[in-house]
Structure 1
Amino acid sequence: MTVAPADLLPVMQRSHGAGTLEVKRSGGATRIARLHQSGNARIRVPKTYGKALEAVLINTSGGITGGDTLAWTISAAPATETVVTTQACERIYKSSGDTGRQESAIRVGAGASLFWLPQETILFDGGRLQRGLDVSLGEDARFLGLETLVFGREAMGETVASAFFHDRWRIRGADGDLVHADDVRFDLRGAGETADPAVLGGNRVVATLVFATPDDGESRGLMVAGARALLKDATGGASQIGDKKGGKVVIRLAAPSSYILREQLLPVIALFLGERALPKVWSL
């Protein structure tokens, strides 16, 4: 058998995409100020009748594998209201060795509210992803961030024995001080590791929700009480951290299936959205 030299072997095509959305306040409503998209990144702004502008992020390549890159930049001007979601779940496919990368940079102007609500990320066996979320908040800005990770598709009977996933969050306030820092890292190298009680304990879906708000401790306490009441039968918890000048609410959940977790999350998301409409793509 003749083996082709390494420089003659076919090189697998990688996908690279970048999307930028800037919104402004105009005529009493939040409107597009600038939209740019390249590669496999697309941004759609459907017509809605609520208070907030809704943006839907799309990865036309259908997922991320080793060597792929995807970058989102969202900038919200002062006093705007924006809800950002994704058209579908993001899929992290088996990699031949390289690590896929996704970076999201979000700027929220003074008095603005931005709700980052992507649908679930599904990690396939052999998948590798490095993901970062960098948020900068203006004075009295509000930010709700949610990320959900699914270990394989339960309906297909998939298991994830080997995979790498690193999710890094950094949220900073108007003064540049750190409001929230989070690093979640899975480096799986054998079947059954996620079943360990110290890891997932038999669950296959995990979610983190962070609400950074200028509200005082009493208001945050009411939010936590409301969330706990909605999540009384869920695996996880809710807490609030901060002082009279503002702080955050943090919720972490785990569930045996994405459907169960979504059932639990929907009323909690609606709680934090208030009068704003839940994106239609999130409907069960």
Structure 2
Amino acid sequence: MYAAAIPEPMQRSRGEASVALAQGATGLRIVGLRQQGSAKCILPYGAHGRGGSPEIVFLNTSGGLTGGDQLAYSVDLGPGVEATATTQTAERVYRSSAGAARVKVTAEVGAGGWLDWLPQETILFDDSRLDRRTVIDLAPGAGCLMLESLVLGRAAMGERVSRIAMRDIREIRQAGRPLMLEPLQLTAAALQAGAAGLGGARAIASIAMVGRGAADLLEPVRRALDEPGVMAAASAPEGRLMLRMLAVDGWPMRRQIARCLAVLRRGAPLPRVWQM
């Protein structure tokens, strides 16, 4: 008799990428760059975001996430540095057979600096599991614009999501004081909860803006909330600007996000890697 074969453990992806920028005697400099595993970070030459600031593009070369995968992105901006950080494409979270995929995003913005964190959407497939935490630490006088968007399956492919386990925590702090703490938990029950849950929406998004002039953009951004198939609202509590969106599909939500970002970024173009 032959001994029963022992199954090999499935390979899991690990990735970590970080970049640090600072002002030097001759201008903006890269003072730190680290890439490991499936995570990469590029600063495409000639790509500029708000006010001519540099763009940072993160990418996951594993092609997506599943249970047990780990991914970490980090940005460190020195005093007075302004930058836009994004992802090269939508992140896909596939069916998991063992545990959750874990993603950690951290950013530190020095005094007087500014970060636009504008990742492309996360696409969640049926039976996917994701545990993600995003934390932006602002020094006094610094500000940020944070976007997170989720799409439940690809409508054009006829995909439906009925089972899911996602925990997503987003936090913005300034000088150690919490300014925003937004936990989101998606389960099968939430998907089936009707108006008390997602109300049948297949895509959701949240945009937060903290810093100089944020509250002044409330009325202009409200006038931009006019995309058919998207239900959206904006508010400005205590000098912050908050937007929430529910959409029937990812494409109308993406168009609505683009119009809102044009207002919030005062006409600056979307990151070059975004395809619209």
**What TM-score, normalized to structure 1?**
0.90
User: What are the within-5 Å matches in structure 2 for residues 165-176 of structure 1?
Assistant: 165-174=166-175, 176=176
Q: What is the Cα deviation at residue 241 of structure 1?
A: 1.3
User: What are the within-5 Å matches in structure 2 for residues 233-252 of structure 1?
Assistant: 233=227, 234-242=230-238, 247-252=239-244
CA contact (8 A) 1:30 1:82 kept: no
Q: What is the Cα deviation at residue 31 of structure 1?
A: 3.4
The number of equivalent residue pairs is 271
1:278 aligns with 2:262: no
- Aligned residue number for residue 130 of structure 2: 129
Q: What is the Cα deviation at residue 276 of structure 1?
A: 3.8
Q: What is the Cα deviation at residue 27 of structure 1?
A: 5.7
Paired with 1:156 and 1:125, the residues of 2 have a C-alpha distance of 13
- Aligned residue number for residue 149 of structure 1: 150
CA contact (8 A) 2:78 2:110 kept: yes
Paired with 1:193 and 1:17, the residues of 2 have a C-alpha distance of 34
Paired with 2:26 and 2:53, the residues of 1 have a C-alpha distance of 11
1:16-72 deviation per Cα after TM superposition (whole angstroms, max 9, x unaligned): 000110011236754322111000000011012641110110000011100000011
Paired with 1:159 and 1:178, the residues of 2 have a C-alpha distance of 36
Paired with 2:34 and 2:74, the residues of 1 have a C-alpha distance of 10
1:57-89 deviation per Cα after TM superposition (whole angstroms, max 9, x unaligned): 000001110000001111000111110011110
- Aligned residue number for residue 192 of structure 2: 193
User: What are the within-5 Å matches in structure 2 for residues 71-220 of structure 1?
Assistant: 71-174=72-175, 176-188=176-188, 193=192, 196-213=194-211, 215=212, 219-220=213-214
Q: What is the Cα deviation at residue 4 of structure 1?
A: 3.7
1:135-156 deviation per Cα after TM superposition (whole angstroms, max 9, x unaligned): 1101110111101000001111
Paired with 2:240 and 2:80, the residues of 1 have a C-alpha distance of 20
Paired with 1:77 and 1:133, the residues of 2 have a C-alpha distance of 19
- Aligned residue number for residue 262 of structure 1: 254
Paired with 1:38 and 1:157, the residues of 2 have a C-alpha distance of 35
1:156 and 1:3, CA in 2 relative to 1: closer, same or farther beyond 3 A?
farther
Q: What is the Cα deviation at residue 3 of structure 1?
A: 8.9
- Aligned residue number for residue 217 of structure 2: 223
Residue 40 of structure 2 aligns to a residue in which SS? strand
1:236-274 deviation per Cα after TM superposition (whole angstroms, max 9, x unaligned): 2100111xxxx3111000111111011111121122222
CA contact (8 A) 1:29 1:80 kept: no
Same amino acid, percent of matched pairs: 35
RMSD (Å), alpha carbons:
2.0
1:196-244 deviation per Cα after TM superposition (whole angstroms, max 9, x unaligned): 122222220000001111x3xxx444311011000045402100111xx
1:34 and 1:158, CA in 2 relative to 1: closer, same or farther beyond 3 A?
same
Match of 2:42 among 41, 44, 59: 44
Paired with 1:270 and 1:93, the residues of 2 have a C-alpha distance of 31
CA contact (8 A) 1:163 1:189 kept: no
Q: Which amino acid aligns with 2:234?
A: A
Aligned structure 1 segments of 4 or more residues deviating by more than 3 angstroms:
2-5, 26-31
Residue 32 of structure 1 aligns to a residue in which SS? strand
- Aligned residue number for residue 26 of structure 1: 24
1:9 aligns with 2:7: yes
Q: Which amino acid aligns with 1:121?
A: T
Paired with 1:277 and 1:148, the residues of 2 have a C-alpha distance of 19
CA contact (8 A) 1:20 1:73 kept: yes
Gaps of 5+ in 2: none
Residue 273 of structure 2 aligns to a residue in which SS? helix
Gaps of 5+ in 1: none
- Compare 254-263 and 230-239 and name the one that shifted more: 230-239
